[in-house]
A and B are shown apart, each in its own frame.
Chain A
Amino acid sequence: MQQTILVCDDEKEIVEAISIYLEGEGYKILKAYDGLEALEILDKQRVDLVIIDVMMPGLDGIHTTLKIREKLDVPVIILSAKSEDTDKILGLNIGADDYISKPFNPLELVARVKSQLRRYMQLGNIGGNSSQAVFKCGGLTINDDNKEVFVDGEPIKLTPIEYNILLLLVRNAGKVFSIDEIYEQIWNEEAIGADNTVAVHIRHIREKIEINPREPRYLKVVWGVGYKIEKQ
């Protein structure tokens, strides 16, 4: 079934560019150029995901999202020229599912769209499996029985060491592990001196499970202290 995505931005060219990318991925695109238009479309048609700009004439992105949330639980990705933390927090707090700041990498946008859609469509599929050996953290799922890792339902390939590190962190979500602690837990040896082995593995894990490894959703770096998986 072809999924429908509503793209809303007052810059026609940006709407057009996004359409081109997403149509290339096989999605059906609906276009709106301000908030009211977007709401109208949402009233009439079934939409699987909304990408909306913040600064728009008429009804802006924030208010539009609030209106959408009154009726629908469709994933909303906010697209904004504002990149401050406060802007992101505001966006996510009023009900958006993701936040992408302009100028964006088209590939990242596509990845995020896919991720949101997967979660939206397949939500509960894996959640129904209530095995003891399954650890979940947001969109991240680890099935320790068959050593499988999913991000938003997508299987991820990890090396044994990467898997063990991730498992350690997910099982203790929220706890910060220092490099030495991780080393001792995974290698079962005492850590001798500073070494970037663990840090390199962590980066590799991040590159595999995160859409944007520089702004990780799951595996966070606590600078100068260690690493942790954010409790979600």
Chain B
Amino acid sequence: MKRSIFIIIHILSVLLFAAGLVVLHDYSAVDYGLTWIDKPVFEESVQFSGMVADDIHNIKRLAVLKAAFEDDGAFSEDNLIVSAVTRNGNMGYTVGDMLTLAGRFGYTMDADTHGISAYGAGNDAANYEVRVTYKEYDPFYFDNIEPGPSQGVTTVKELSLEVMKALAEYYNLSSIYDQQLTNFVYSINFTDTSGEELAVSNTTMSPMEIRSLGKYISVNSEFSIDTNIQPQPDGIIAVSNTLEFDTSEEDVLNIGVDTTYIYNDRYKAAADSFEGSVGRVRRWLMFLVIGAVMSIVSLVPVVRGTGDRQRQYAMDRLPIESMVFLFGLLSIVIYYLFKLTVYNTVELVAAQRDWAFWRMLGRWLIIYTFAVIILSSVWRRARDGGVFRNSLAHGIVEALTDEQSGSAAWNAFKSFAAMVLLNFAGCFGILWFYMHRMEQGNYYIAFILLSIILAAVDIYIYTRLYKHTKQRASLRTAVREISEGETGLTLPLEEYSGNELELARSLNSISDGLDRAIHEQVKAERLKADLITNVSHDIRTPLTSIINYVDLIKREDIDNEKIREYVDVLDKKSARLKNLTEDLLEASKASSGNVKLEMTRLDMVELASQAGGEFEDKFAARRLELELNTPEQHAYVLADGRHLWRVFENLYNNAAKYALEGTRVYADVYSRDNNYVFTIKNVSSEKLNISPDELTERFVRGDESRSTEGSGLGLSIAKSLTKLMGGELVIEIDGDLYKASVVLPRHEEPAETTVTTGTLEIE
């Protein structure tokens, strides 16, 4: 909960930082960055000086275009604009000529916007190749390209378009600088290519008046610059690709900007937005710093708070190298997905110069997210026992330094390397001999010999591998057999070699030890059983005397009422002692020795009837009514009659003893799935506040207070006897309703009696 708050804070501060970056990027001035924000006045900012520089550059271009398209200060179609060598010899084209040609090729220029459009197919058949020798609108073109035969070669179609474009540029620039009202005032003197003086100006103001406008630049014929614009705009007196300044005048250049901005032009707009942007940039700079600090601060709890100890992170289980590699890979995949999808949408929403910035920002955010995830995992690793605990490097180092696995690694590598080396050398030798077999007769034999030797060696190595694999397979079988309880297993040692021999020897001694342990256990069990048997035999002899003499006392005429009572107690207790010794004997026999099973087909319906007959008087004595229900005529199962009788006897006995007097006892035999089920149900005379499991546990009776007969062993012996015969004895208790079920698999076809032995398992 707390951590998720930190995560949200962290994400927000990272986004704040990113947003700060975006805003500052938008406001940064080219080459000057954010140096301007401490300047509160627009006229002293880099933006201002940049605007002036742009204007100067444009005016210089305008001068070139004026020289080309104007005659005496006005546009003239008769001006010679291009000279070229054509198939008809040297030709001079006027502006009018070129515009006519352009029209012929389907180009037109809009009269207002000066936009050029091409319509129709044009008459390309009229196109021909020309070699331009001079362009009035680009007089320095030929100075800037390599001389050669293809110099200036173009088609007349392209040439006409180029002229039309230059004309459009002329119109645009002169409309900005000469025709519109502007706060920018200029007056520049040039000398054109033919040496004529050319004054370009949009003002009639004297240099002094220009200076008084506010911001100015003045360059005299000595090219010394006088300006109050800081920083000084670039390229004021640079002359590349433009006309030369006319140094015959006193000033070659006078530029002024009316800082009262009387005209509503781009200078005014820029000045207006400047102050606002300074505030905004300062604010965002603050946000950027806050975002950066907060993201660093919140990164700590985000990383530290990661992962409660109970939770296991799948990524933490990976070795650190794999994790870093995997997440690096994932970030690359996501980056490419980003590139495929949103990368190009940047071009729709942002200016071209910002594309790179936006893309970098996206890339950076992706990388940062993954870095945080990886960092969190690293932190968790560090907290839970070391960053390199489960690293591959650590594993390799451990494997190599650990004696056992180190030697295993070395051994595996040794044989592998030997094999590879041998084969490599062999193949190389064979090739070498093969290549030289023509030159020297002997080499031919060597080639064949070496091939045979190499094949033989490889076959030998294979058979060794095969042998070891086979030995390992037989070891595996042996281990499985031992784990499945096989005892007395001894591997023939002569069939094994090398490591497998060692394994086989160890396995033999394990098997031997196991065998001995089992024998000892069996012996101990038998000893215990014998002890119990002997003890109960020894108890019987004195018990016989006790019972007999108690009986004899009872036969005497005793007047004393008390003595008669005492003798009764002795009689009952000695009878109980007798039962106990018998049960004890039974239990020891059952839990230690093997029980003989004579499995034969018998009928549970018959058995239930027989049991009913046997217990008829006992039930009658307690006024219990036995209801036997058998939907099936017969219920054949495979069982040992005597043992199954023991089970039934026990269940009937319990019913006879513990059922509520005067109630009905229900016995049913029915078929269910693949089984026959015998159930006996009765209402207990006492509360059954005990679980069925406890009821069958050794020496536990339904209720101690109910009766002092029996030792409680009966039910648990019955249960294990049923289990031994492949069935199940289920006791269910529902309130005072007691229900016991004997479930045995059906066995319809007659069967021969089979004798087996089994061991009883008594809980």
Contacts and interface: CB of A to CB of B under 8 A. Distances in A.
A102 B603 CA distance: 35
Contact of B543 (A17, A55, A103): A103
Central interface residue in B543, B606, B611, by most chain A CB within 10 Å: B606
Contacts of A21: 548, 552
Given A20-B552, A102-B541, A196-B626, A223 B616 contact: no
Contacts of B538: 81
A13 B545 contact: yes
Given A17-B549, A195-B628, A196-B616, A104 B544 contact: yes
A193 B630 contact: yes
Interface string A190-207: 000111111111110000
Contact of A14 (B541, B603, B642): B541
A112 to B, nearest CB: 15
A159 B542 CA distance: 42
A21 B554 CA distance: 13
A68 interface: no
Contacts of A196: 609-610, 612-613, 616, 626, 628
Interface string B514-541: 0000000000000000000000011011
Central interface residue in A193, A197, A202, by most chain B CB within 10 Å: A193
Interface residues of A, number: 34
Interface in B673-720: none
Contacts of A179: 606, 609-610
A17 B552 contact: yes
Interface in B528-579: 537-538, 540-549, 551-552, 574, 578
Interface in B611-650: 611-614, 616-617, 626, 628, 630, 639, 641-642, 644-645, 648
Contact of B549 (A13, A102, A198, A225): A13
Contacts of B552: 17, 20-21
Contacts of A81: 537-538, 540-541, 544
Nearest to A85: B596
Interface size of B as a range: 35 or more
Central interface residue in B547, B639, B648, by most chain A CB within 10 Å: B547
A106 interface: yes
B486 to A, nearest CB: 32
B120 to A, nearest CB: 112
A178 B28 CA distance: 112
Nearest to A11: B541
A186 interface: no
B365 interface: no
Contacts of B613: 196-203
Nearest to B578: A103
A198 B545 contact: no
B549 to A, nearest CB: 6
Central interface residue in A14, A17, A103, by most chain B CB within 10 Å: A103
Contacts of B609: 179, 194-196, 198-199
Nearest to B628: A194
Central interface residue in A81, A83, A201, A203, by most chain B CB within 10 Å: A81
Contact of B610 (A20, A104, A193, A223): A223
A22 B538 CA distance: 25
Contacts of A11: 541-542, 544-545
Contacts of B574: 103
Nearest to A225: B602
Nearest to B637: A224
A204 to B, nearest CB: 9
B628 A226 contact: no
A14 B544 contact: yes
A196 B543 CA distance: 37
A13 B543 CA distance: 11
Given A200-B613, A223-B602, A223-B645, A102 B630 contact: no
Contacts of A103: 540, 543-544, 546-548, 574, 578
Contact of B641 (A13, A14, A194, A223): A223
A198 B607 CA distance: 12
B605 interface: yes
Interface in B450-473: none
A106 B644 CA distance: 31
Contacts of B630: 193-194
A221 interface: yes
Contacts of B585: 83
Central interface residue in A104, A106, A222, A223, by most chain B CB within 10 Å: A223
A102 B540 contact: yes
Contacts of B612: 194, 196, 199-200
Given A102-B544, A194-B628, A225-B602, A82 B537 contact: yes
Contact of B616 (A102, A193, A199): A199
A222 B574 CA distance: 32
A224 B603 contact: yes
Contacts of B546: 103
Contact of A194 (B537, B551, B614, B669): B669
Contacts of A82: 537
B581 to A, nearest CB: 9
Contacts of A104: 544
B379 to A, nearest CB: 73
B630 to A, nearest CB: 4
Given A203-B614, A225-B641, A194 B540 contact: no
Contacts of A83: 582, 585
8 smallest beta-carbon distances between A and B, as pairs: A199-B613, A224-B602, A196-B612, A223-B641, A17-B548, A223-B645, A81-B540, A224-B607
7 contacts: A14-B544, A14-B548, A179-B609, A199-B612, A221-B610, A224-B604, A225-B603
Interface of B: 537-538, 540-549, 551-552, 574, 578, 582, 585, 600, 602-614, 616-617, 626, 628, 630, 639, 641-642, 644-645, 648, 669
Interface of A: 11, 13-14, 17-18, 20-21, 55, 81-83, 102-104, 106, 178-179, 193-203, 221-226
Given A20-B552, A194-B606, A223-B641, 17 more contacts: A14-B544, A17-B545, A17-B548, A17-B549, A21-B552, A83-B585, A102-B544, A103-B578, A178-B603, A179-B610, A195-B609, A198-B613, A199-B612, A199-B613, A203-B613, A221-B645, A224-B604
